Structure 1
Amino acid sequence: MSIATKKRLLKYMIATLALTLIVGCSPSNPQNSDSSKPTDSVSQTPSQMPPSSSAPQTTDAAKELLLNMKQLAEQGKVINNDFPVKTTVIEDVKSKWGEPEKTEWVAAAKGSYATYSNKATVFGFNKGSRIFEVRSFDKQLKQLSLAKTKEVYGTPAYDVKVNGEEIIGYTAGPEFKIEFVFPLTTASNSDPVMDHYLVLHPAGTVNNMADDPGRQW
């Protein structure tokens, strides 16, 4: 082999070795070869980014309950009860709930009152058996304070203090009234919670035969 041939062979071997080293050192993932490329989380556009977290808004459960009570009162109903005043007779209740725990005549209220303690409900009905009042003692009422009720309903049309209670009342549509009963405010209890409430149909207390105009509250 001539010297010229040996030199060409040596140059070829050196070039081949250099190429092998270059290929072996190159990254296996082409995407990683550009160190300036941002990661997936950084490369998201503003529209792709998840919305910034914020604290959930607090739901005013007491206000919602009071507004629901008002809406039902305009239909002659109290919460958790399917027996509206005006259109229901006491026999309708008895057919579904059975006989009341007790029934008593209350002259001042212009009717008889049937108590269903297990349903936390009292019904007032006239001599024609028509229900004119439904009282609810639902446990949810314990979250409603006097101040909150006045805040939601405004200045009451009726406000009396009698027998250790304060009773405030409002109109509920053209035919019905809604009244809330609280213990009296004291030095140790400046904002009492509701004891019970009622929906009243005043026209149902009228007794034309006795020339009795009935009650309004």
Structure 2
Amino acid sequence: MSLFFNKKSIVIIVMTLFVTIMAGCSNSSKPSGDAANNGKNSSETSESSEDKNSKSDAPSENSNVETSNTENNAQKAVLDNIKKLSEEGKIINCDFPVKTSTLQDIEKKWGKADKSDWVGEAKGNYATYSSKNVVFGTNKGDQVFEVRSFDSQLKQISLSDVKDFFGQPDHDVTSNGERIIGYKSGSEFKILFVFKDSGNDPKLDHYSVLYPSGTKNNMSGDKGREW
């Protein structure tokens, strides 16, 4: 009886040890909750960081749209200023209007021109003030009949910009490599836009406000320029 009991006790002890060892192995093979969560968080952080880097490297569509809108607004503002001033016979950044200004008026404030050339086709003498980006066309009586602007702001304006703002031109010709379109401004003045670049939508080179009546020569019967 004692021997049977001892054998039975030994079997129970062995079984208990076996179960304990197997349970320990099973627990050690599984990652702890904190370890699993840490691994998951690390993976998510890595993916999130990659997404952010990818988004930061990609160009912003909103930024491009805002830049385009800003440029369009700036061009429209220049064209609006051109239109309003032309009704007074003036160009941008110049206080000397056609019709009522003379070459003497200009020289009193700006001094002598850098150069002066007679242009028969344009019906007058053209005085260039390079530092002002302005050229004045005057008749034989020194009356200003045309003022041209070569302001740097104009270089960003395209042919389509002008047409979109002013509509279809009253005058449209191509001559000597230049595309010239014109619009009436009130009853006395006209605006001429000159494009020199090639292509379907060239950029503006310069523009002028013209007083056609100032190009007439009644003594010789010359009717002067229309545009």
What TM-score, normalized by structure 1, do the two folds share? 0.71
1:196 corresponds in structure 2 to 206
Contact 1:76 1:86 in 2 (8 A): yes
Deviation at 1:143, TM superposition (A): 1.6
1:110 corresponds in structure 2 to 123
> Matches of 1:117 and 1:141 in 2, distance apart?
16
Question: In structure 2, what residue type is equivalent to 1:193?
Answer: K
> Matches of 1:70 and 1:216 in 2, distance apart?
19
2:12 corresponds in structure 1 to none
Aligned pairs for 1:175-194 (under 5 A) are: 175-186=188-199, 190-194=200-204
> Matches of 2:153 and 2:74 in 1, distance apart?
10
Deviation at 1:185, TM superposition (A): 3.5
Aligned pairs for 1:121-200 (under 5 A) are: 121-186=134-199, 190-200=200-210
Q: Percent identity?
A: 56
Deviation at 1:118, TM superposition (A): 1.0
Decide which of 113, 130, 143 is 1:100's aligned counterpart: 113
Q: Does 1:210 align with 2:223?
A: no
Deviation at 1:83, TM superposition (A): 0.3
Query: Which has more radius of gyration?
Result: 2
Deviation at 1:144, TM superposition (A): 0.7
Aligned length: 160
1:9 corresponds in structure 2 to none
1:69 corresponds in structure 2 to 82
Q: Does 1:81 align with 2:118?
A: no
- Structure 1 residue matching 2:214: 3-state secondary structure: helix
> Matches of 1:156 and 1:108 in 2, distance apart?
22
> Matches of 2:222 and 2:120 in 1, distance apart?
12
> Matches of 1:161 and 1:123 in 2, distance apart?
23
Deviation at 1:191, TM superposition (A): 1.7
Contact 2:197 2:203 in 1 (8 A): no
Q: Which structure has more helix as a fraction of its residues?
A: 2
Deviation at 1:184, TM superposition (A): 4.8
Contact 1:161 1:184 in 2 (8 A): no
Contact 1:66 1:149 in 2 (8 A): yes
- Structure 2 residue matching 1:77: 3-state secondary structure: coil
Structure 2: tracts of 5 or more residues without a match: 1-64
Contact 1:123 1:134 in 2 (8 A): yes
Deviation at 1:192, TM superposition (A): 1.4
CA RMSD of aligned residues (A): 1.6
What TM-score, normalized by structure 2, do the two folds share? 0.68
> Matches of 2:145 and 2:77 in 1, distance apart?
26
